[in-house]
Amino acid sequence: MPNRPTSDLLAALEARLGPRGFTRDADAMAPWLKDWRGRVEGAAAALLSPADTDEVEAIVRLAGAAGVAIVPQGGNTSMVAGATPDADGASLLLSTRRMRTIRSVSSQDNVAVAEAGVILSDLHEAANGIGRRFPLSLAAKGSATIGGLISTNAGGTQVLRFGTMRALVLGIEAVLPNGARFDGLSALRKDNRGYDLRQLLCGAEGTLGIVTAASLRLVPAAAARAVAWVGIERADDALGLLRRLEDAMGEAIESFEIIPAEGLALVLRHIAHTRAPLTDPHRWHVLIEATARAGAPSPTDALEQALARAIEEGHAADAIVAASESQAEAFWRIRESLSEAERIDGFAAKHDVSVSVSVMPWLLEDGAAEVEARFPGVRVLGFGHLGDGNVHFNVRAPIGMDSKAWLADQGDDISAYVHDLVRAKDGSISAEHGIGQLKRAEFARTAGATRLHALQAIKQALDPQGLFNPGKLLP
């Protein structure tokens, strides 16, 4: 059990960090004590905002000597309250927001070195500035930070081609619980010197180390993109379509997102200035983005031809390739507005799950039907990254019911049922959001003894006092 900080410790931290790096002011702290989804409110003894890695090291040493816990926080956009301290107020909240330097960007190495507090969209801009891009993006890009993206092994819409954050991290600098700096920033494409600590820190949710900077992989800028909206009748067709497109266009296919008819209807109902891309209704829709690098032929012709063949072969019912960048943006807007439209429509039991790609059609159709049969009246809305086997499987209240009361009453049972369904297919109860606080109990229930034991042994080995982000991930 971590200690509450003494006034001596707080004074030492204040002296080390100065007025910009230390505050206990309630108003200044308030926005960072509540999680992004507004479901958890925590408290902290102080908000620390170190300016650099030396200051992070100093904080960890002082807190470690006093047995006081530290909760690291980046953009505070966790979907699972992974950066919100416990309500007891005994922890120190460590924000990386002042560590916003992009130390270097290199088109020779195809690497950017960014501090933990660098905001994703700033990194995108820096990469674009040298004719490269950082190929990971998500809705929260204007506030999500590099440190948070690494600690949660973030996904997004380009995983199909480029993988999750862990595939893009070439080096990590971090401060470990014992106060030592792990200097693994060198961007080595190959390095077989034992257990890969970089990979261990990726997705560890700040429980094993505080990431202070990272070397990140850049790829050539995309010079052109083609965006298509496709109507299909069975989820199974979507998978056939994806493999068909990959055969025809290879790695040019970057995004492949599935949206059910109900999802499109919700967006059209609740989000201004949206319209259905196709005239006829379809059971499912797929949003596809293909890109081409500078000098390569535009991907539009290839995508149009491949889709025409897919329609002939029965993998798709209808399709339209955006004729302009504004139409492409309109297609994407539908996908990106789905969560908001759903929120406006009412509360839902939300699940971020993954299965093998070939099991996705089953989950979207048969799995959804099982849930709807077990909880009569509920409506499953499954959408997301079909090519990654990752679906946002949201269960909405029966029509006419107060969705908030329904969720409070039924939410846990429904979630347990959905997670069991996914686990029975060897899937994951957290595809991209992590465990944090909100999924901790379900993780403990479903993880199995072997995995839990191994994770706890590693945590105990690297953080024997349990001071790094307590109350997250592990039971």
Task: Please report, as residue ranges, which positions from 13 to 52 form the binding site for a copy of itself (by CB under 8 A).
Answer: none
473-to-45, 131, 443 alpha-carbon distances in Å: 22, 38, 8
Q: Does 138 bind a copy of itself (CB under 8 A)?
A: no
For residue 36, give every residue at least 6 positions away whose Cβ sits within 8 Å of its Cβ, in sequence order, or none. 76, 77, 78, 79, 140
Shorter beta-carbon distance to a copy of itself: residue 7 or 108: 108
Q: Does 434 bind a copy of itself (CB under 8 A)?
A: yes
Kindly identify the residues of this chain, within the stretch 225-244, that bind a copy of itself according to CB under 8 A.
239, 243
Shorter beta-carbon distance to a copy of itself: residue 10 or 159: 159
Q: Which two tokens stand for residue 282?
A: 């379809």
Q: Does 184 bind a copy of itself (CB under 8 A)?
A: yes
Please name the residue that has the structure tokens 């991930």. Answer: 473
For residue 450, give every residue at least 6 positions away whose Cβ sits within 8 Å of its Cβ, in sequence order, or none. none
Kindly identify the residues of this chain, within the stretch 335-354, that bind a copy of itself according to CB under 8 A.
354
Q: Does 307 bind a copy of itself (CB under 8 A)?
A: no
Torsion 352-353-358-361 (CA) sign? negative
Q: Does 355 bind a copy of itself (CB under 8 A)?
A: yes
d(CA 409, CA 37): 19
Q: Does 448 bind a copy of itself (CB under 8 A)?
A: yes
Would you give the end-to-end CA distance of the chain in angstroms? 14
Q: Does 182 bind a copy of itself (CB under 8 A)?
A: yes
Q: Nearest Cα to 367, choosing from 316, 420, 406, 412?
A: 420
String of DSSP letters for 49-77: --SSHHHHHHHHHHHHHHTB-EEEESSS-
Among 84, 95, 96, 152, binds a copy of itself (CB under 8 A): 152
Shorter beta-carbon distance to a copy of itself: residue 96 or 207: 207
Q: Does 203 bind a copy of itself (CB under 8 A)?
A: yes
Kindly identify the residues of this chain, within the stretch 234-293, that bind a copy of itself according to CB under 8 A.
239, 243, 246-248, 250-251, 293
Phi, psi of 27 (to 5 degrees): -65, -40
Among 363, 429, 438, 467, binds a copy of itself (CB under 8 A): 429
Shorter beta-carbon distance to a copy of itself: residue 253 or 288: 253
Q: Does 357 bind a copy of itself (CB under 8 A)?
A: yes
Shorter beta-carbon distance to a copy of itself: residue 1 or 449: 449
Shorter beta-carbon distance to a copy of itself: residue 190 or 273: 190
Shorter beta-carbon distance to a copy of itself: residue 252 or 264: 252
Provide the residue type at 129 as one letter: G
Residue 226: how many other CB atoms lie within 10 Å: 22
Strand order in the sheet with 46-48: 22-23, 46-48, 92-95, 70-73
Q: Does 356 bind a copy of itself (CB under 8 A)?
A: yes
- Which window, 29-37, 42-50, 191-199, 227-235, contacts a copy of itself (CB under 8 A)? 191-199
β-pairing, 348-349 with 390-396? antiparallel
Q: Does 178 bind a copy of itself (CB under 8 A)?
A: yes
Considering CB under 8 A, how many residues would be counted as binding a copy of itself? 89
Q: Does 424 bind a copy of itself (CB under 8 A)?
A: no
CB 94 within 8 A of CB 73: yes
The 87-106 contact track toward a copy of itself, x by CB under 8 A, reads -------------------x
